[in-house]
Chain A
Amino acid sequence: MTLPIDLKEILRQTVADGYGDLVTRRTGQAVRSGIERILSRLDGETVLIDFGSVRCLDLSCADEIVGRLLRERAQERSFVLLNVDDGHREAIEFVLERNNLAALAKTKSGELQILGTLSEPARRAFAALVRLGEATAEELAQETSLPPESAGELLEELCRLRLVLRAAGRYRAPVR
């Protein structure tokens, strides 16, 4: 089950009606608290955070909303950042790299990307998995010409980071 969270709506509820920008540490803290309140009420293994109506995202907000959420909650759920544009991406990547974190983003054109810090082999494995839709370690090994053991290790690494989900021996991205 996925939980969609519209940041503009959270911003409206927690800070003020008129803002379209996610800027300042205080705003980031308020929005993160709003997200955490939603998370505490709902079950679900994947959380979609929608940046579609956000104009400017500064580093302080990116740290509170993405960095801190991942630092503290990524063990519990997969977070997918929706409708991320180049401006959002710049702030989010900066925060993720500084914290040695990775996050899954879906761009406005629908492309799935991993932002932040992740090894190149794991990135290639993820890209291959997205092409396949879902796969076992053996199927991924065939697709990538990797030894099955290596493919399995990469998929497990992606699972640990909650960038990939596993069910009945098959792996898939949290969203299509």
Chain B
Amino acid sequence: MTRVIPVPQQFDDRTFDQFARAYSAPSPEEKVLFDAHATQWASPYGLLGLLVAGQAWLDRHKVHPLLTLPEDRDVAHYWARAGFFRYAQEFFELHGKVPKVVASGTSDVLLEVTPVREADDVHAVVDRIQDRAQTIVSHELGLEAQATMGFAMALSEACQNIVEHAGTGGWVAVQTYTWRRTLGRRVAVIAVADAGVGFRRSLEATQAKRFGDRWSDATALEAALIQGVSRFRDPGRGQGLAGIRRYVSRWSGKLSVRSGTARIAIVPPWDDDVPLADGLPDFPGSQVLLIIPAAQPAK
């Protein structure tokens, strides 16, 4: 029997837990099909989540999971433009025709799916994004020049979480789009994800004792994001997430970090997410999401 894990029709941070629930459901089958045939849209967060799921499944079962591509050609083309298939073919047996696309300088994909394994990758990501980020953040989002500089800084720090803490490689993707549903404005979105050890295991050696029975994915996320702790004892450590938090707060953005069975978020007034969600379906590694909205139009 092949177990089917449906990829949500609209696959983003809102529907991620639905996907994670299907992924983490106990099952004797080792053969699995990730079914994206009906998927109409996937955010960078969704695409990276799919890669993480594929990588983690392959690592655990040593069998390539199957992935059916979206039937909608436009959707499949977008996934190709976002660089998803380049890495998906490492982990999945792909079913469906992978579109051939040529990179376009005018795309809303600011940074296609890019692997992050070591410090050099972070340099490359920051180097590639800076010129386009300036155009997007200041012209398209209408934010001050300072927001552009902080954008690259936040991106760098988010990527370094993988290098320093995941114990494995991960990916980053950056995109802009118009978020009609709740905001009615354009947003720039940074998604960073890995299938690594997650926050709880990364911090366990230095923090678990302090929390005793309360130690969990949720308390590990609180310790990292709110208290700024790190697995390193150096006084300068643990400020990356705190810096990202300050950046998103300053520009009315959202920061969300999911790891294991918990998710913590800095929630702006335009969003209705909860600050801390615990008891979620278990999912490998860590997933970080930053959303920077366009400036509020003058009334």
Contacts and interface: CB of A to CB of B under 8 A. Distances in A.
Interface of A: 18-21, 23-27, 55-60, 63-64, 67-68, 71, 85-87, 90-91, 94-95, 98-99
B130 interface: yes
Contacts of B119: 24-27
Interface residues of B, number: 26
A11 to B, nearest CB: 10
Interface string B135-146: 000000000011
Nearest to A91: B153
A59 B157 contact: yes
Contacts of A25: 119, 160, 164
Given A21-B123, A63-B239, 15 more contacts: A21-B127, A21-B156, A24-B122, A24-B160, A56-B153, A58-B153, A59-B243, A68-B236, A71-B235, A85-B149, A87-B148, A87-B150, A91-B153, A95-B236, A98-B242
B126 A56 contact: yes
Interface in B157-210: 157, 160, 163-164
B240 interface: yes
**In the complex, the 4 A-B pairs of residues with the closest C-beta atoms, listed nearest first:** A87-B149, A63-B236, A58-B156, A24-B119
Q: Is the interface of A mostly helix, strand, loop or mixed?
A: helix
Given A27-B119, A56-B156, A90 B146 contact: yes
B149 A56 contact: yes
Nearest to A30: B119
Contacts of A99: 235-236
A90 B157 CA distance: 14
B246 interface: yes
B152 interface: yes
A19 B130 CA distance: 13
Nearest to A26: B119
Contacts of B235: 71, 99
B154 to A, nearest CB: 9
B150 A90 contact: yes
Contacts of A64: 236
8 contacts: A21-B126, A21-B130, A23-B123, A23-B156, A59-B153, A68-B236, A91-B243, A95-B236
A60 B160 contact: yes
Nearest to A86: B146
B122 A95 contact: no
Interface string B43-75: 000000000000000000000000000000000
Contacts of B236: 63-64, 67-68, 71, 95, 99
A87 to B, nearest CB: 3
